[in-house]
């Protein structure tokens, strides 16, 4: 059995060169994916939403008012414009006396329906909480010891614990929503003493990004920025 001949000195640099080229090409490819994937997915989802609204809302408009009747091409997003204009007109109409009267009558009818009244009341309360200008919902990102001791989850304070639930619990309790990842539309509502929470300085948007990305995207530490801003303000005051 003969020994394997040693590699020639010239072949070693060539192998290292080819390996370096492959590594660089792989890095460039991953960089391209990281740049184009978020933009492409965002554009695709926005386009699908616009198409869905156009195909659902645009046919409700008579043909004589549709731009496609007079133009040789369709107008993307025309249905979205119709929805925005329609909601604005509804808001303008309900701001008057007649509009408020019709809203009260419709709410009175819905409140007498056994199943619909609960669903309508819950949806209305959620929208009023989200769009209310002085709302305190989801204003604080915290760490909560959940679902077991020494295991921490990211949660969002949605308000103080009040009503019947608050009366049956100790004081200083808060409502904390612990979302599931990556689907933040589902999760757990837990009631925790405020002293048991660890408040974070990150914004709600940064917290949601971290949850959706299953921890891959880590937001920057805002405390360092606040310290720098405080130092600059102190220097300016001096």
- Asked whether residue 25 is assigned to any structural domain, the reply reads no
- Asked whether residue 49 is assigned to any structural domain, the reply reads yes
Query: Residue 193's domain spans which residues?
Result: 140-223
The two tokens of residue 64 are 């004589």
- Asked whether residue 60 is assigned to any structural domain, the reply reads yes
Please say whether the beta carbons of 144 and 190 come within 8 A.
yes
CA atoms within 13 A on the CB side of 62: 2
Q: What are 157's strand-pairing partners?
A: 140, 176
The closest of 215, 226, 211 to 156, measured between CA atoms, is: 211
Helix (H) or strand (E) holding 142: strand 140-145
Q: Give residue for tokens 């990004």.
A: 209
Cα–Cα distance for residue pair 177/161, rounded to 1 Å: 12
Torsion of the alpha carbons at 205, 208, 214 and 216, rounded to the nearest 10: 10
State whether residue 174 is helix, strand or coil: strand
pTM of the predicted protein model: 0.52
- Asked whether residue 112 is assigned to any structural domain, the reply reads no
Q: Is the domain of 144 the same as that of 79? A: no
- Asked whether residue 96 is assigned to any structural domain, the reply reads no
Q: Domain count of the chain?
A: 2
Which residue ranges of the chain lie beneath pLDDT 70?
Answer: 1-17, 126, 128-137, 226
In this predicted structure, what is the pLDDT of residue 189?
92
- Asked whether residue 2 is assigned to any structural domain, the reply reads no
- Asked whether residue 99 is assigned to any structural domain, the reply reads no
- Asked whether residue 125 is assigned to any structural domain, the reply reads no
């Amino acid at each position: 059995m003969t020994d394997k001949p040693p590699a020639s000195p010239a072949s070693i640099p060539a192998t290292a060169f080819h390996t370096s080229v492959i590594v660089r090409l792989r890095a460039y490819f991953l960089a391209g994916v990281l740049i184009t994937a978020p933009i492409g997915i965002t554009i695709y989802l926005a386009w699908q939403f616009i198409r869905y609204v156009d195909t659902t809302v645009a046919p409700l408009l008579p043909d004589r008012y549709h731009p496609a009747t007079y133009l040789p091409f369709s107008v993307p997003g025309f249905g979205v414009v119709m929805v925005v204009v329609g909601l604005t007109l509804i808001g303008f109409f309900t701001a008057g006396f007649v509009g408020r009267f019709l809203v009260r009558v419709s709410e009175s009818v819905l409140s007498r329906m056994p199943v619909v009244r609960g669903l309508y009341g819950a949806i209305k309360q959620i929208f009023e909480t989200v769009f209310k200008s002085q709302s305190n919902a989801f204003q604080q990102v915290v760490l909560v010891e959940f679902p077991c001791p020494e295991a921490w989850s990211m949660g969002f304070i949605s308000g103080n614990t009040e009503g019947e639930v608050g009366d049956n619990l100790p004081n200083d309790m808060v409502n904390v929503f612990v979302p599931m990842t990556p689907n933040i539309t589902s999760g757990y509502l837990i009631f925790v003493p405020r002293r048991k929470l660890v408040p974070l300085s990150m914004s709600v948007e940064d917290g949601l990004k971290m949850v959706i990305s299953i921890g891959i995207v880590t937001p920057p530490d805002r405390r360092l920025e606040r310290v720098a801003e405080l130092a600059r303000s102190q220097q300016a005051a001096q």
